[in-house]
């Protein structure tokens, strides 16, 4: 059944996510100001570089300033109209306010915001301490809320449209005993995105929730994510591989899906094959 649903979902889609082939969106984002959080590594880095190849002016934001600087440098090399690095912790409201003020004063209103920064956290419900719950919600949920409030409001006031991409996860609709805090944070990001999309629709601002499954980045190999319950993670991967043909999925494909979602103004984008199947099951067969 899962195989059939995957095939069906894929066949009614316009196509599978493509790799971010240079030139695919050549100059599609020419001159637009694109801000990506968590741009120092993984999905955020490849997304910032894909926008650079599409001619955007790129703002790479990360709490690791040196990593953000490396991304900005590579973005310039790849043809960005301009690229800058900024250091900020997305969970810090004051820091995000300072960032929004500085960016607006120096570069103008952001056209595309990608709220991507996130942390992984594994462990069963009872193994997860209140401090860990707070940390994962502070970064994964509050980071997105701060970004949407501060940059989304400026987009709306400017009145020239724009787009917000929030990077959620298949964990938002795929319950797992090893990821209760992480999954909860991502489910909240998904709902937030759908509510905000409805609110901003009349103002020409699109909102997309992008939901990848397993992607090859640092987050899935850190002890906090996989190591906390390595056995459960292995079991999940094995099951996903058997059911959905899980393959190693490169972050470049997620970046391509993000650019495509902005161009097409898509609402919810489950990216990897197992994410698409899990999303279809959760929508069509509640409780499955
Ligand atoms: P990653 O660890 O490679 O990159 C995350 C980046 O975010 C790092 O550069 C890190 O420094 C930065 N960051 C973390 N906390 C921050 C904070 N408070 N403020 C600013 N920057 C911060 O991980 P990734 O896989 O590229 O993850 C990117 C997003 O994709 C996350 O939101 C993650 O939850 C989501 N995601 C990843 C996967 C996956 O399998 N890799 C699957 C689904 C969703």
Q: What is the mean pLDDT of residues 200-220?
A: 91
Rounded Cα–Cα distance for residues 136 and 239 (Å) = 26
Look at 282 and 105; give whichever has higher pLDDT: 105
Nearest protein CA to atom 31 of ligand 1, as residue:
118
182 is known as an active-site residue = yes
Least confident of 80-94, 99-113, 159-173, 227-241: 227-241
Confirm or reject: Cβ of 212 under 6 Å from ligand 1: yes
pLDDT band with cut points at 50, 70 and 90 for residue 112: very high
Decide if pLDDT at 188 tops 70.
yes
Q: Give the helix ranges, DSSP H, for the chain.
A: 2-12, 42-53, 65-77, 93-107, 130-137, 143-147, 153-158, 180-200, 230-244, 251-264, 273-284
- pLDDT number for residue 226: 45
**Which residue is catalytic, options 182, 244, 249, 279?**
182
- pLDDT number for residue 222: 52
- What is the average pLDDT value for the chain, to the nearest integer? 88
pLDDT in tens, 9-30: 544 444 444 444 556 787 889 9
Task: Provide the β-strand partners of residue 86.
Answer: 61
Rounded Cα–Cα distance for residues 228 and 77 (Å) = 38
Decide if pLDDT at 57 tops 80.
yes
Q: Give me the half-sphere count of Cα atoms (radius 13 Å) on the Cβ side of residue 168.
A: 31
Q: What percent of the chain has pLDDT over 90?
A: 70
Rounded Cα–Cα distance for residues 61 and 86 (Å) = 5
Structural tokens at position 108: 């103008």
Rounded Cα–Cα distance for residues 49 and 270 (Å) = 21
Q: 97: CA distance to ligand 1 center in Å?
A: 21
**Which atom of ligand 1 lies nearest, measured to the CA of 41?**
9
Rounded Cα–Cα distance for residues 261 and 208 (Å) = 7
Closest CA to 251 of 26, 52, 20, 53: 20
Least confident of 20-29, 123-132, 141-150: 20-29
Look at 284 and 5; give whichever has higher pLDDT: 284
- pLDDT number for residue 273: 86
Q: What is the CA radius of gyration of the chain?
A: 18
Nearest protein CA to atom 2 of ligand 1, as residue:
219
- pLDDT number for residue 219: 76
Q: What is the mean pLDDT of residues 218-228?
A: 56
Nearest protein CA to atom 34 of ligand 1, as residue:
118
CB atoms within 10 A of CB 37: 31
- pLDDT number for residue 26: 77
Q: 161: CA distance to ligand 1 center in Å?
A: 27
Look at 245 and 32; give whichever has higher pLDDT: 32
Decide if pLDDT at 70 tops 90.
yes
Phi, psi of 85 (to 5 degrees): -115, 140
Q: What is the mean pLDDT of residues 161-171?
A: 97
Q: 269: CA distance to ligand 1 center in Å?
A: 17
- The secondary structure of 72-100 as a DSSP string is HHHHHHTT-SEEEEEE--TT-HHHHHHHH
Would you say 34 and 81 are in contact if contact means Cβ atoms under 8 Å apart? no
Decide if pLDDT at 3 tops 60.
no
- pLDDT number for residue 247: 59
- pLDDT number for residue 27: 82
Nearest protein CA to atom 12 of ligand 1, as residue:
38
Q: 48: CA distance to ligand 1 center in Å?
A: 13
């Amino acid at each position: 059944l899962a195989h059939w649903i995957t095939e069906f979902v894929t066949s009614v889609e316009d196509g599978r996510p493509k790799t971010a082939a240079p030139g695919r969106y050549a100059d599609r984002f020419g001159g637009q100001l694109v801000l990506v959080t968590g741009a120092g590594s993984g999905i955020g880095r490849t997304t910032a570089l894909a926008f650079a190849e599409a001619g955007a002016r790129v703002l790479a934001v990360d709490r690791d300033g040196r990593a953000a600087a490396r991304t900005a440098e590579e973005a310039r090399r790849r043809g960005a109209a301009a690229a800058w690095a900024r250091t900020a912790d997305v969970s810090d409201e004051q820091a995000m306010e300072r960032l929004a003020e500085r960016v607006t004063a120096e570069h103008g209103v952001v056209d595309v915001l990608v709220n991507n920064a996130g942390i992984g956290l594994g462990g069963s419900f009872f193994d997860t301490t209140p401090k860990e719950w707070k940390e994962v919600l502070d970064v994964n949920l509050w980071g997105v809320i701060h970004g949407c409030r501060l940059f989304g409001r400026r987009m709306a006031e400017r009145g020239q449209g724009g787009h917000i991409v929030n990077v959620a996860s298949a964990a938002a609709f795929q319950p797992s005993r090893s990821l209760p805090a992480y999954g909860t944070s991502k489910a909240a990001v998904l709902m937030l995105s759908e509510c905000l999309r409805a609110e901003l629709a009349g103002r020409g601002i699109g909102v997309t929730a992008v939901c990848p499954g397993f992607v090859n980045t640092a987050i899935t190999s850190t002890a906090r994510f996989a190591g906390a319950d390595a056995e459960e993670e292995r079991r999940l991967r094995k099951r996903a591989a058997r059911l959905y043909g899980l393959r190693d999925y490169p972050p470049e494909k997620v970046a391509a899906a993000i650019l495509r979602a902005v161009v097409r103004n898509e609402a919810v984008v489950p990216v990897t094959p197992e994410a698409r199947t899990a999303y279809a099951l959760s929508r069509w067969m509640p409780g499955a």
